[in-house]
Amino acid sequence: MMDGSYDISLPGLGRCLRVEESPDVVEALRQALSRWPLSIRRARGLAPAIRLRRSPGGYLQRSPRLPRGLELPTSTAAVCSLIADLGGDYLDREVSLLGLHCASVEVDGRLVLFPENHQAGKSTLAVAFSAAGYRLFGDDVLGLTREGEGVALGMAPRLRLPLQESFSPPLVEYAEAHAGPEDSRYRFVLPPGNGLAEHGERCAVGALVLLERDDRLTSPDIIRLQPGEGLLQLLAQNFAYHARPEALMAHLLPLMERVPCLLLRYAEPLAAARHLGATLEGGMQENQGCDIGRREASQPDRRGAPGMNDPVPAQRRWVTSREMRTYPVGRELFLIQSGRGEIHRLNETGTMIWRLLDQESLAGKELGELLAEHYGEPLASVTEDVCRLLSGLADAGLVTAAE
């Protein structure tokens, strides 16, 4: 491609990007968006909202998200930034989709989601799944329909460089053999053949997996978690920054009622991908459970939810606050304060207390007696825990003292 100015169009966005005097960026972008095919034409008319041009320091990008402009030192850095803008614009336009910050892999015809932040290793694990022969829907962004289907954007995964010394030789070899655009910080990895889902391709979600990296482990470990763990993570790792909490719950709650939530503990990514894939294959079809043990506390957890405050008087009676929306998730309960939009999570014990107080006013002493009998534990210690929990619930505005 010769120097000059080019306008780039993408399915779902139309003419969305102008690149000036930077053919290397256009070529790198074409590779990184191999499954979101772009059309390239000579620039004409007014420039689209996203613009990039060569600058003394490398490249300068401007867009509605970057009104002051952003200096980018390499073509790979420019592509990383452009992809963030393009993906964000697509999700903004597709109002029926909830944008999730997650990696996503197809296993046995269902999607496994890894909703984690930038430093959790989800991109590395996505590339490891690709090396193990699984199809990727993405390593960082996914659209989610209200029906619980993931929608691919067609973006290639990327690895942080240099590669970690703990990576197995087969994973390093795969990352080298399928290397795309790279600089000193990042490398795009281009899965061969049909290894990366096309833009707009859909697949039903089958499992949600949280990650815990532990270099001391000799083999991967998979633990079943409460659904609330997954819901809490999805509430944190989405791009609907201005959405009402009630709208987010309506979108996410049906999914968490249907799919398992797991914790993957691992040291080496490729071994973890192979182990998790083999465990999930055949176990994610509708109404089927995975043969994985559930993590349980060795003793009943009586703490309920908000932090351990000073206990309230045991004789004081309490009722639930009325301006609350409740969302049961497994054995837990999520609460949204209608006026303030805050989301609170109660575990099994907190849920029991909330439901009792929602029926009638009760004192901490009465609640302690009920829970001590339920758990078979000493009345004094249970009552103290309950009164501390009531103090936290009151501070959060979830319960109020009865008149």
Split at pLDDT 50, 70, 90, the class of 379 is very high
Can you tell me the mean pLDDT for 126-143?
Answer: 98
Can you tell me the mean pLDDT for 289-295?
Answer: 47
What is the token pair recorded at 138? Answer: 């993405």
363: left (phi > 0), else alpha (psi -120 to 50), else beta? Answer: beta
What is the token pair recorded at 173? Answer: 């070899």
Spatial contact of 10 and 16, defined as CB atoms under 8 Å apart: yes
Closest CA to 253 of 328, 320, 155, 171: 328
The amino acid sitting at 341 is G
The overall longest dimension of the chain from CA atoms, in Å, is 81
Domains and CATH numbers, the chain: 5-93 (no CATH), 98-280 (3.40.50), 317-401 (1.10.10)
The percent of residues in the chain predicted with pLDDT above 70, rounded, is 91
Instruction: Count CB neighbours of 395 within 10 A.
Output: 12
Spatial contact of 311 and 364, defined as CB atoms under 8 Å apart: yes
- DSSP three-state, residue 295: coil
Tens of pLDDT, residues 143-158? 999 999 999 999 999 9
Split at pLDDT 50, 70, 90, the class of 241 is confident
Split at pLDDT 50, 70, 90, the class of 37 is very high
Closest CA to 190 of 198, 181, 199: 181
Concatenate the DSSP letters of all residues of 361-380 into one string. Answer: -EEHHHHHHHHHHHHT--HH
d(CA 160, CA 162): 6
Split at pLDDT 50, 70, 90, the class of 2 is low
Spatial contact of 131 and 270, defined as CB atoms under 8 Å apart: yes
d(CA 154, CA 201): 8
d(CA 157, CA 137): 9
**297 φ/ψ angles, rounded to the nearest 5 degrees:** -70, 150
Residues 161, 118, 58: CA angle, nearest 5 degrees: 55
Lowest-confidence segment of 34-43, 108-117, 168-177, 288-297 by average pLDDT: 288-297
Strands, E assignment, 183-313? 186-189, 202-213, 221-225, 261-266
pLDDT at position 292: 53
Please tell me the number of Cα atoms within 13 Å of 3 on its side-chain side: 3
Residue 223 above 60 pLDDT? yes
**Residue 254, H or E segment:** helix 245-258
d(CA 213, CA 263): 10
Residue 77 above 70 pLDDT? yes
d(CA 108, CA 344): 35
